[in-house]
Structure 1
C-alpha cells in the first residue's frame, strides 16, 4: 500500500550548524501519513519516493514535534540540479511507502 500526494511548499534551511534544507509536508498530508503508519522504533521516520522537477529520489520524512507535520529533507544535489534555493516554492510529488 502507498499514499500519493502532490503539494507545493517553500524550501527552508535548518537553523542549526548543518546545511540541511527541508520542505514541510502540509498538515492534511501529514495526517494521512500518520493515520497509515504503525508506530515503530526510532524517531518515526517513514520511507518515501519524491519527485521534484526532473529529479526523483528515495528518502525518509520524519515528524517534527514543534509543527506536528512531517519534514522532507532536500539534498544539495537536487537543489543544484533543480535550481531551487531557500524560500523558493517547490512542487512535490510524494509517494509514501506504508
Structure 2
C-alpha cells in the first residue's frame, strides 16, 4: 500500500479545514450575529444566515491563501468557539 505524500496530506488537511472548519465558523457566526444584530429575532436570524454565504466563501479562500497550516486550524477553532460562546451568552432566551 502506498503512503500519502506530505504534499497530498497538506492539501487534504487544508481542504478539510476549508470545508469543515469553514462550516463550523459559519455556524458560529450565524449564532453570534443572530444574537447581536439590533433587529427583531426572525430578521436577525435571516440577516445572519445571508451573511453566512460571504463568511463561508471568505474562509475557503483564506484557508488556501494562508501558508501556515497549523495557524489555519488554530484560528478556525478559537474563532468558532469564541463566536459560539459569545452568541449563546448574549442571545439569552433562544
Q: Compute the TM-score of the two structures, normalised by the length of structure 1.
A: 0.28
Larger radius of gyration: 2
Q: Higher strand fraction: Structure 1 or Structure 2? A: 1
Q: Higher helix fraction: Structure 1 or Structure 2? A: 2
Q: Compute the TM-score of the two structures, normalised by the length of structure 2.
A: 0.29
